[in-house]
Amino acid sequence: MRQTIIFLFASLWISNAMGQADIFEMSLEELMDLEVVTASQFEEKASDAPATVLVITREQMREYGWRDLKDVFRAIPGFDVSYESGGEVKSVVVARGVNGNNKLLVLQDGQRLNPLSGERFVFGHNLPLDFYQRIEIVYGPASALYGPDAYAGVINLITRDGGELDGFELRSGYVSTGAWDGSALFGKRVDQHTDFVLGLRAFHGQDFALHEHYTHPDDYGPVGLYSGALGELENEYPIQNFNLLAKIRHKRLSLSLDWQRYYETNAYTALPWLYAYVRENVWAQDLRHLNLTHQTIDREKFDLRASLSLGDYEVDPASNFTTVNSDLTQKGAAFKYAYSAQIQGSVQATWTPSESFSLVAGGLYAWVKSFPKTQNLPEPFAANGELIDDLRFYTDALGFVFGSYELSDPYFGRRDFSNLGAFAQANYRPIQTLSATAGLRYDYNSGFGPTLNPRLGLVFEPLAKLKLKAMYGHAYIQPSNYDKWENWAIPGYMHIPNTKIKPERLRAYEFSANYFPTQDISLRLSLFHNDMRDIIRPISGLTPQEHNNGRAFFNPYGNGGVEHNGNLGRITSQGIELAASAQVGKFLPSLAYSLLEGEDFESGLSVPKISTHKVQAALTFRHRKLSATLHMRYFSDIHTSPQNTLYGELGDKSYLLPANLAILYANLVWSPSESLSVSLAVDNVLNTAYYGSSPYNETGWLVARAPQALRKSSIAISHRF
């Protein structure tokens, strides 16, 4: 308890935001109050934005040794993260008690990266920080500006520009798991009207071999018992990722292209006696986007821009869940496929008639071609020009697929939809020390109807260098086609579609205070409360009468349990974040404390996958050509769900996965010249064996706890010319 109180009152904010160029000449106050665009869709200081905004700059990414976006979550307050959680999500990310990788909206230069069809977003080795100049993280709901899925927060990845690169930048690195990580970027500002960037990144090799270190029967012990044909397969965890970024700006026209190829192991957190920990068990997908923006009007008090965005999402037919027979000697494969494509047009206007008033408004229309994730297929999916899933194997005696009226046709196909949205947000400053923000967005989705999401914010400066903020907002999660049409059947259990899902909704309240007692000390306090209703989740233990007017469900593998995705219950979460940072000569110490509590009213238990207490602490030392950072992440016991087979209702009923430990990370950067640098990063310095939470709803086909990687080192050389 004493330690907790010390952390509470000594909390230091991890975001000692650091730029490049003249960073060493800037005060901490200047570094932490940079211009941001994500909170209001126009430029403003972070302290003036009607939201809690965290800015992470390129220099900070470099000094902490982060390689991908997933690495950032371990170092910022309010986030719970569990790595090594299987291919479809890779990392379980929970923001302020809001669980779900589809509940964080990820943008790149303001353009959406999440598929509009609503699939879970993957946080793996697939979002390379080499491409980005800074990251803006907005806490809390933002559907009043961004519409669907801007629920727990918004992450905007701001790409580097040609003028900043001014030539080639090459980086080559090796990871101790047996992987190569390299990137190449070329950028140039041709003249004041033209700027372009081209970037490539590849991450190939092996991920951490968890089964060699976590050999307990509740973990990966059965992997060592594989025999026969299964035993002859390699117990490897491949990574074959690729990223492409290209963008060009000429006068008022901007064009960008990005392609994210993700190919990683699908084994982690699946029960090793049900799903094989072998090289063949992978999840692969592609995300591709083409964005065109034109600054149609650009005047001192009024500007108007129009955008056209094309994109698609495709699960590679090689994606599968490699299965294990009961005697651990045979294997099969349950292949998956999904596809969606989208086209979206939007216009946005910003009007600033005076220093005390501004208005931003816009509208958009999106059309989505969607083929939701298939059943478990015995062979890789072959489209042959047509997106159809043959479900005749699951047809009951009356001809209904899965016994469900929603699937009366045994050939399952596309479920296209469209969305029309309009929003407006006004900011008024009646006096110099007070500003008020009010926003509203209306969306109409052809699949589930209308939603209306407001936003309010007040920013008050009662004293010099002290900013107080009060915020209120709504957000919603669209009931995606993934949720509506998910279907699979295994012996003894099946999951059926449900088209009657409503949007999940969130109301959030937050108060925050930012204070700079000196130009080299920053303090922040945040208090928040989230109230979530109509939670979209798997609902199990169903009877036929509850869904199909008495029609019997048909599972060709045999009788057993039935579930579908639906709306059930209410979840609340609330907490406090206390933080500060300092700049003391050549040292930048930082420390942040988060207290988080919540309740799932359906189970009567705490929100799963969160720790009540979290601490992030870091110390960076800079001296001429050398910088060194030591970072610590502490988290208390992790709450689990009632379905957890070891810590839930079948265990000791404590619903707590023991933790109370600290994980250390270190990074060293040596720059013998302005164009050359060498870095050494070590994750889990003390080689601590520990666990994170399992993904999804922690059902019986998952390990009850997710073993995390032990010590992992990487070395890299970067050269600019």
pLDDT recorded at residue 17? 33
Do the Cβ atoms of 29 and 522 come closer than 8 Å? yes
473 pLDDT higher than 80? yes
| % of the chain exceeding 70 in pLDDT | 94
Residue 487 φ then ψ, to 5° = -150, 130
Sheet holding 98-99, edge to edge: 79-82, 92-95, 98-99
pLDDT band at 32 (very low <50, low <70, confident <90, very high): low
Which region holds residue 585: left if phi is over 0, alpha if psi is between -120 and 50, else beta? left
Q: What letter would DSSP give residue 96?
A: T
CA angle 226, 231, 233 (to 5 degrees): 130
Task: Kindly list the distances between the CA atom of residue 631 and the CA atoms of 74, 528, 592, 708, in Å, as whole numbers in the listed order.
Answer: 10, 26, 11, 17
Let me know if 34 is exposed, middle or buried by CB neighbors in 10 A (0-12, 13-18, 19+): middle
Q: Containing H/E element for 4?
A: helix 2-9
Count of alpha carbons within 13 angstroms of residue 677, beta-carbon side = 23
Quick: pLDDT tens for 542-580: 776 666 566 677 778 777 778 889 999 999 999 999 999
Structure tokens at 106: 């990820």
Q: How far apart are CA 88 and CA 373, in angstroms?
A: 12
510-527: average pLDDT: 93
Domains (range + CATH), the chain = 2-720 (2.40.170.20)
SS3 146: helix
636 pLDDT higher than 80? yes
263 pLDDT higher than 70? yes
SS3 415: coil
Count of C-beta atoms within a 10 Å radius of residue 321 = 25
408-434: average pLDDT: 94
Let me know if 193 is exposed, middle or buried by CB neighbors in 10 A (0-12, 13-18, 19+): exposed
Residues in CB range of 604: below 8 A, 6 or more apart = none
Choose among 142, 134, 144, 160: nearest CA to 54. 134
Q: What letter would DSSP give residue 432?
A: T
Report which residue type is found at 704: A
18 pLDDT higher than 70? no
Choose among 72, 88, 80, 94: nearest CA to 14. 72
Q: Could you tell me where the beta strands, DSSP code E, fall in 50-110?
A: 53-57, 79-82, 92-95, 98-99, 104-108
Give the CA-trace dihedral at 57, 61, 63, 64, to 10 degrees.
130
Residue where the block lists tokens 């000449």: 25
Q: Containing H/E element for 128?
A: none
The CA R_g of the chain, rounded to the nearest whole Å, is: 25
pLDDT recorded at residue 554? 76
Task: Kindly list the distances between the CA atom of residue 541 and the CA atoms of 554, 560, 563, 668, in Å, as whole numbers in the listed order.
Answer: 15, 9, 6, 53
pLDDT recorded at residue 332? 87
Beta bridge partners of 139: 153
pLDDT band at 371 (very low <50, low <70, confident <90, very high): very high
pLDDT recorded at residue 642? 87
346 pLDDT higher than 90? yes
Q: What letter would DSSP give residue 130?
A: G
3-state DSSP of 295-320? EEEECCCEEEEEEEEEEEEEECCCCE
Do the Cβ atoms of 421 and 442 come closer than 8 Å? yes
pLDDT recorded at residue 271? 92
Least confident among 11-25, 358-372, 379-393, 610-624? 11-25
Least confident among 136-150, 155-169, 388-402? 388-402
3 pLDDT higher than 80? no
216-223: average pLDDT: 93
pLDDT recorded at residue 31? 64
Q: What letter would DSSP give residue 32?
A: H
Choose among 275, 263, 210, 270: nearest CA to 236. 210
pLDDT band at 118 (very low <50, low <70, confident <90, very high): confident
623-650: average pLDDT: 91
217-240: average pLDDT: 93
pLDDT recorded at residue 21? 37
Q: How far apart are CA 180 and CA 204, in angstroms?
A: 5
pLDDT recorded at residue 24? 47
pLDDT recorded at residue 16? 34
CA angle 706, 205, 135 (to 5 degrees): 70
pLDDT recorded at residue 4? 36
pLDDT band at 108 (very low <50, low <70, confident <90, very high): very high
CA 26, chain centre distance (Å): 31
3-state DSSP of 648-685? CCCCCCCCEECCCEEEEEEEEEEEEECCEEEEEEEECC
Structure tokens at 154: 């918004």
673 pLDDT higher than 60? yes
Of residues 383 and 65, more confidently modeled: 65
DSSP 495-545: E---TTPPPEEEEEEEEEEEEEEETTEEEEEEEEEEEEES-EEEE-S--GG
Least confident among 335-339, 341-345, 385-389, 605-609? 385-389
90 pLDDT higher than 70? yes
Average pLDDT of the chain, as a whole number? 90
Count of C-beta atoms within a 10 Å radius of residue 1 = 5
384 pLDDT higher than 90? no
Look at the pTM and tell me if it is higher than 0.85. yes
Quick: pLDDT tens for 176-191: 999 999 999 999 999 9
